[in-house]
Structure formats: structure tokens, C-alpha cells
Chain A
Amino acid sequence: MSLTRLLAISRKELLQLRRDARSLYLAFILPLVLLVLFGYAISFDIRNIRMAVLDQSRTPESRELIESFAGSGYFSVVEHLETPADADRALGSSAVRLVLIVPPTFSADLAAGRGAIVQALLDGADANSATIAQNYAEAIVSGYSTRAVARGRRVTLPVTAESRVWYNETLESRNMIVPGLIAVIMSIIAAMLTALTIAREWERGTMEQLAATPVHRLEIVIGKLVPYVAIGLFDVALALSVGVVLFGVPFRGNLLLLGLLSLLFLIGSLGLGIFISAAVKSQVLATQVAMLATFLPALLLSGFIFTLATMPIVLQGLSYVVSARYYVAVTKGILLKGVGASVLWQDALAMVVFAVAGLAMAIGVFRKELA
């Protein structure tokens, strides 16, 4: 091993990168574009759910309940219905997603302290938003009951569970998404960055010349890795800044720990890219393989959006070989929970394994030899 030769490879790689618009775009623009795009596009927060009301009570109490729906910001009352049949039509035509029915006995039941019942009909065709709407509706009704009790109306006080959400108090889905998104984007970008490096040299005929020099293959692989590790760390820092500044994601943990684990993750992913590049020796194919090997697994099997624990056992098993899985856990853990090494050590260990494996595969498959 010679540092001179290793650095010569790194310097050459940077010079080439500087003059290649496509690589510059891939290294510095694409991660930001993806982050902003996904950050804004993926949101599970639902606002202004269109709802209709069938108020059969027509009392100040019922109007107060309806007001609290409209005033919550989560719902907008777009229709007042006359008959129960209207409810069917309104939901069926997708004009509204929720119909609130206040029965004629509402006020009387309240006054008698019997406990009043209101009905919410939900459009279950979109199960996800229906669940969210249901949760919102229950929260609003529960808030109304509490106020009713406080005002001294004798209502049989139900046992209420008061839940508090930790780590993401406002349940902003953006807070959940952005840290994982950074991990997913970096795993794609990292593999794509290095997927070109070795294949390009084979395709352009520069590898044959390089192979005839005393440079060791370790020096080539590490030398090519170094500049991309630096770029990758820069990208992570950039993405974090955008996440915190633009999306208001909290940063509660240790920056140094995140940097260190990011470094491990990048070595593994960049190594994977070099491995692919050296194995297929074609730029087009290497890009496709790198995309296939990182994009879908990182998106689906990393726990970024889809909860791993509820997946079929086979997919759960597969997720253990997706390095993004550990990095998603790390970014979420450090940003949202502020946890440290004592919690993340297993993920850190997995990332060490991936880093070593990525490097070993890259060095193992790369030969300074024509076939």
C-alpha cells in the first residue's frame, strides 16, 4: 500500500467528478431534489376533511358539537343533510368522507346525564384516511364531553384514556418521514455514485492502462472510495440542515454519533456500488443494478414508511440484509428520540458488518486483469 498512489487515485477521481455535470448533479443536486420532493409530497397529515352533518337535534348543544368539528381545522362542514338517506348519497358519491349524525334525543340525554350518543359514518374505501378521520372525530367528541362535564352537566363520566405521544408530540408525519428519508436517499445516492467508477474505466479503456501500472487493487478501490465518502458526508450534513431548517424536524441526539454512524453506512453503501461496478463492468448495467439493489429495498424494507413488524415473516427476514434498515433506525433514533450508543449499538454493529462486507466484496471482485 502506498499513500501516494491511493491519493493519486482519489485526486484523479475528484478532478473527473468536477468536470462531469452528470456526476455533480448526482452528488449534489439529486439528494436535495429528492429530499424536498418527498418531504413535501409524503404527508400522512390530513386537514380539512370534507364532512356532512345530519343534525336531528337542532339544539344549542348539537350546534356546539358541530362547531367544534368545524373549528378544529381537521374538518370542514360542507353540507347539512335533511334525512338519513342523504347520508348514504353523500358518502357514496365521495362528496364527503364523514357524516356526523346527531340524534333527536341528544340534548335530552345530555341533560338527563344518561350519556348521549352521536354517530359518525366514515368512507372506508381509503382505510388509511378513514382511520385518521375517525381518530380526529373521537378526539373532538371526547373534548366536547370533557367540556360538558366541566360545565356541571351531570354526565356519567366515562373512563377516559389519556394518551400522550412521545418523540413526535404533534404526530407530524413529516417528523417521522424526513429522518428516514435522509437514510433512504443516501443509500440510493451512495450506491449510484460509485456504481459508475470502475465500469467507466473499463468502458473507456483507461483500466487497461491503469492495470499495467504497479498500483495495487486495494489502492484503486480505497482511493476511489475516499472522495465519495467525503461527498456522502457532505450530503448527509446538507440533508440534515434542510430537514431541520426547512421542515422543522427536531435534532435531539448527538451529532458526532450520527456522523460516525453515517460514515459507517456510507462505506458499506459506496463499497456495494464499487462491487456492482467491478462485477458488471458496464455503466448502464451497473446503474440499473445499483438502483434495483438499493431503491426498492430501502423504500420498502427499511421501516422508513412501512412498519417492519407487521410484514410477512419472509419480508421481515429480508429486511435484515438491507443496510438502510439500520440507518433509518439510527437517523430516527438520533433525530427524534435523542438516543445514544447504548440504544443504537446493535444497529451500529450491523453497520460495521455492512461496511466490512461492502469493502471486502468490492476488493474481492475487482481484478486488475482483462478477461
Chain B
Amino acid sequence: MAQPTVVLSDLSRRFRDVEAVDRLTFSVGRGELFGIVGPDGAGKTTTLRMLAGVLRPTGGDARVGGVSVTRDPEGVKRHIAYMSQRFGLYTDLTVRENIDFYADLFRVPADQRARRLERLYQFSGLGPFERRLAGQLSGGMKQKLGLCCALVHEPEIMLLDEPTFGVDPISRRDLWLIVHEMVAAGITVLVATAYLDEAERCDRVAMLHAGQLLALDTPEGFRRRLTGRIQTVRTSAPRQTRDLVAAHPAVQHAVLFGDMLHAILDDPARDWPDVKSRIASAGITILEEAAGEPSLEDVFIHLVTSAPAHA
């Protein structure tokens, strides 16, 4: 790993009697694209807020760009750009007014503004909408505007909280292109997401569950953690199939993704025919089946269900 630029040490946040973030410890290297994944309530937003210096930790500390978030939360803010999950720009200001406002707040020198604005419009495609009120933009364009306002001061570190939440697939791809461009330009990016397919794009991924760090690895490393192989199957009775398959001794896990059942087997070539025959003898029709590569989703569910601390 490159020189660490975001370092969490036992970072914790308690709300009343709930430990929203529980002793998180990990480091993010300079120029890394780092994913924080987990279901809603796992502590992703709380973690990013603390790193952004807008929420005070109740325990531990983190250094962001070399600055402690507990001792100097304001000092952190010169190094970062933070994009909250909820659209945080002014809907009653135009695209241009929002960008200018944030340029002023970060005191972007006047002689650099035109060049930066041009670049921001170039990658976001927001130029033609300069005079439109932010509230009248589509969900995807709002997020692009959020990125523009975040990038106007050329931050070292970006903290993005579910930037693609509620965004259409085309805009989602556009947003990720922008993120990859930022990383290519040397910016460190921490991105929280509930979509595990997005986490596959990251250099490394921290999996959070109930405020705790479940695991931290590269996407490839995560997939290697699964000892078994994935067999997917779609049938006429998905739930009944799941119960049947999960009960089979050769199956480690069986999880439904929609109506597609993902089963993890130690050796599908040996055991799958027997599992299949049980499905068939229950009078269930198999519509589709395949041997698959495990996704991060499979790994995540495997980790959550087998985590000893999870209670």
C-alpha cells in the first residue's frame, strides 16, 4: 500500500446506547479507490461524517490528510471534499451559483476559476445547464453537480456517501467514470455504497456490519475467501427450493437474489447432480442453472452469516 493518507484507529461513535461505529481501524493509501460497503445501518454514513469532521467521534481517532478529526476537525476540511448521501446543495441556486459559492468558500484564486470551471463542465456535461436551478436537475445531474462543487477546490481526499443512490444506470456509469478519472489524477477516494457490484470497482473494500469491520480485502481477495464454488439455479418455486437446497449436507449456503438461488458447494461437479435430483423429486421445475463465479455479494452474505461476533 502507498503511504497512508486516511488512518482510522479505534474510531467509534455511539448514539445513546447504540454503537453506530464500533472501533474501526484501517488505513487508506494515497491515490487509492477505497470502498466501504455494508447494508443500511452498518455505519457507513457515520464513518464518513466523522472523517469529514462534521460529526464528533465518541471514541478513537482518525487522521485525514495528516490531521486528527478529534483535535482539529476544521483543519481536516481543507484537505477533503465531502458529498453527503442526501443532496446537500442549494436547490434554489443555479448550477453556476452553487459552484461559485463553493469556490468562494474554498477561496479558489480568481485566475484559476475559469480553467477549473471549464474542466468541471467538461467531465460533468453540466455546461449547457449552467443557468438552471439545481432543484430542476435530474437525480444523476444533481450528483454530478455535487461532484463539481466537491472538486472545485481540487481536494486531496474525496469522501463520497452513496453517490449513485437513486440514480439511473447510465448516470451511474457516468459518475463512476468521473470517480475513476479522479483516482487517475491522484485523488484518494473513499466511497460508501450499498451496491456490492460497485464495490468490485474499488482497489480495496472494507465490509462493515453493525458498526464493525467485518473484513477488509481486495475484491479478488474476497472472492478467494470462499472455499466453495457457486452454483446458481432458477426454479418454479424459489423459496421452497432454497429450503431444500440449504438442507442438503453438501451445501454451505443457499441465498436468494431475487428469484435466482445462489448455492455454495465444496465441489459442485460431485454434489450438484444429487441436489438437483432432490429439487426434481419435490416436483419443482428447474428453469435455468449455471456454475458461477462468486460475487462480492455472495462473499458478504457468507461472511455475515458465519461471523461469530454477529449477534
Contact = CB atoms under 8 A, between A and B. Distances in A.
Interface stretch (A105-113, A149-157, A178-186, A206-214): A206-214
A34 to B, nearest CB: 26
A370 B107 contact: no
A12 interface: yes
B272 interface: no
A19 B55 contact: no
Interface in B87-106: 87-93, 97, 100-102, 104-106
Interface string B58-86: 00000000000000011001101111101
B82 A8 contact: no
Contacts of A128: none
A206 B105 CA distance: 14
B53 interface: yes
B81 to A, nearest CB: 8
A296 to B, nearest CB: 32
Interface string A194-215: 0000000000111011111111
Interface string A7-18: 110011001100
B56 A205 contact: no
A369 B105 contact: no
A5 B149 CA distance: 15
Contacts of A4: 104, 107
4 A-B pairs with least C-beta separation = A209-B88, A8-B104, A212-B82, A205-B86
A205 B88 contact: yes
9 contacts: A4-B107, A8-B100, A205-B87, A206-B89, A208-B54, A212-B53, A212-B82, A215-B105, A370-B55
B104 A5 contact: yes
B206 interface: no
Contact of B90 (A5, A12, A368, A369): A12
Contacts of B90: 12, 16, 206
Given A4-B107, A206-B90, A213-B102, A369 B84 contact: no
B92 A214 contact: no
B49 interface: yes
B54 A368 contact: yes
Given A4-B107, A213-B102, A214-B105, A369 B54 contact: yes
A212 B93 contact: no
Contacts of B101: 8, 11-12
Contacts of A369: 54-56, 73
B21 to A, nearest CB: 13
Contacts of A2: 107
Nearest to B73: A369
Contacts of A370: 49, 54-55
B93 A5 contact: no
B71 to A, nearest CB: 15
What bracket does the count of chain B residues touching chain A fall in? 20 to 34
B57 to A, nearest CB: 11
Given A8-B101, A16-B90, A370-B49, A212 B107 contact: no
A363 to B, nearest CB: 15
Contacts of B100: 8
B52 interface: yes
Given A4-B104, A206-B89, 5 more contacts: A2-B107, A20-B92, A212-B53, A212-B81, A213-B105
Contact of B92 (A8, A11, A19, A213): A19
Given A8-B104, A205-B88, A16 B54 contact: no
A5 B105 contact: yes
Contacts of A209: 82-84, 88-89, 149
Nearest to B149: A209
B93 A12 contact: yes
A110 B77 CA distance: 94
A210 B93 CA distance: 14
B104 A212 contact: no
A173 B56 CA distance: 57
A216 B105 CA distance: 10
Nearest to B97: A15
B79 to A, nearest CB: 10
Nearest to B107: A4
Contact of B106 (A205, A208, A214, A216): A214
A15 B93 contact: yes
A8 B107 CA distance: 10
Nearest to A5: B105
Give the one of B53, B54, B101 with max A CB within 10 A: B54
A56 B92 CA distance: 78
